[in-house]
Amino acid sequence: MNSKSLIKAREYELQEEAKVNVSDRAAFHLTPRVGWMNDPNGFSYYKGKYHLFYQYYPYDTSWGPMHWGHACTEDFIKWEYLPAALAPDQEYDDFGCWSGSAIELADGTHALMYTGVVEDPQTKEFTQTQCLAVGDGIDYIKFENNPVIDGSLLPEGGSRADFRDPKIWYDKDDQLYYLVVGNRTEDGSGAILLFQSPDVKQWEYVTTLDRSDNKYGKMWECPDFFSLDDTQVLLVSPQEMRAQKLEFHNGNNSICLLGSYNKKKHKFGRESVQSVDQGLDFYAPQTVETPDGRRILIGWMQSWESSRNQPHDNKFFGTMSIPRELSIKDGRLLQKPVKELEKYRDNRVSYQGVTFKEPMQLDGINGRILDMDICLQMPEATTNDVVTIAFAKDHENETIIQYFPHSGLLRFDRNNCGFNCDILNVRDVETTPYKLKLRILLDRYSSEIFLNEGERVLTSTFYTPIQATDITFQATSEAYMDITKWDLML
């Protein structure tokens, strides 16, 4: 039996969805049915479809008591909305059903693991616990003995106020369920805890897999833990990061810790750390493994800072990134858009060996819903040379990519994209000198820029009027370019 709170949310989203202008939504990225969206949750494969839940407040375009919104897809590109899955309606989650994950159980049901949050009315302090709901892909019943993991199972020094975002999986060899969850430690920074269970209902603490020690931010949120190309990957989203050269930036980051894992001893050996996405709008990624063995990642295509720039007349806010296929090459995580996107390509326009210096446009190279490959070269570049690509451009607005080929620096700049408040709008990343491959996805109000086959990615939003469709190229000295662009037709 669904609670009154969940029934109310479902009725509201169904009613208000009809008032959303479809052309305001992204064409091939998931947006909320209505209201507010943040972190992806429960990314899982169930009964032939990929299910994605998300942090959701249907009643406003600002953050509120967290529900779980719900959508599914067969190809990661076209999404179908399903009714809201969870609402805060129990004593242990009355401040919100926060982030978590999902898995198909042996009996064919779909289990959701999430963080229930309670706020003390006097002290205003939070208590966070891990909770279970089980259902059929539409309706979910919360476990009568929730929470299944509470503060009594934490290691010494673990915070009961910052203990969230369980990611669950099943190990066929051990015949056990495992989950990782973020926790704040006695030094004020973050750690990732490992728990195990025979049945998803009875859990025990196993070990601490890794911890920040105040080097990579404070609280570690939204962990994910998996094997990829003979490498063990731990994804975390640290809060309160301090910038470290150009790899990490201030504030909320998403980082990837690569290493080895001794499964018998449950010991993770960290070998390297890198940023997952170096754009201005990306957080809280989560992955799923497909039946054909691919590891697919999706993240919240937004940041808390830029969320203040949302359009005032929209009835929804928030977008997910394009789902991305992951691989490891030369000790680095690579990302590329899912291959399914390519079947939506149309109207191919291609130019080879283009030479340019003065501002230039190319016939057929424009638009706001597109997939574009560019190979830039400036082999004789000096320290003062720069190549500039401007998109979503008209007489007043533009977003630009600047490539400094002598140093191999790339700069993303949305200062003139139409934002209405002063936030960070520029991000620099290191890439290869003299020659650079880019793949650029535009979807109305967002850009995802993949450098050198996905060695680095920059994801950002902008709210330039949709009529601004020009793309221009210029350089301080003679530059060379091959370019292919497809419209994406959905």
- Cross-strand bridge partners of residue 260: 269
Long-range contacts of 337-342 (CB under 8 A, 24+ apart): 337/371, 337/439, 337/441, 337/448, 337/450, 338/75, 338/76, 338/77, 338/294, 338/296, 340/75, 340/76, 340/77, 341/28, 341/76, 341/77, 341/371, 341/441, 341/488, 342/371
How far apart CA 183 and CA 164 sit, in angstroms, is 7
How far apart CA 19 and CA 384 sit, in angstroms, is 51
Q: Is the peptide bond before 147 cis (omega within 30 degrees of 0)?
A: yes
The one catalytic residue in 24, 39, 171, 199 is 39
- Cross-strand bridge partners of residue 411: 402, 428
What size, in residues, is the chain?
490
How far apart CA 216 and CA 342 sit, in angstroms, is 36
Residue 32: strand, helix, or coil: coil
Total Cβ atoms within 10 A of residue 352: 10
Handedness of CA 391, 392, 396, 399 (dihedral sign): negative
> Residue 177 — φ and ψ, nearest 5°?
-90, 140
Q: Is 39 a catalytic residue?
A: yes
Give the residue among 301, 484, 267 at the shortest CA–CA distance from 375: 484
How far apart CA 359 and CA 328 sit, in angstroms, is 38
- Cross-strand bridge partners of residue 54: 40, 69
How far apart CA 462 and CA 392 sit, in angstroms, is 9
Residues near 467 by Cβ (< 8 Å), separated by ≥ 6?
Answer: 394
- The DSSP line for 246-286 is TTB-SBS--EEEEEEEETTTTEEEEEEEEES--SSS-EEEE
Give the residue among 428, 435, 432, 334 at the shortest CA–CA distance from 375: 435
Give the residue among 355, 362, 414, 365 at the shortest CA–CA distance from 387: 355
Active site residues: 39
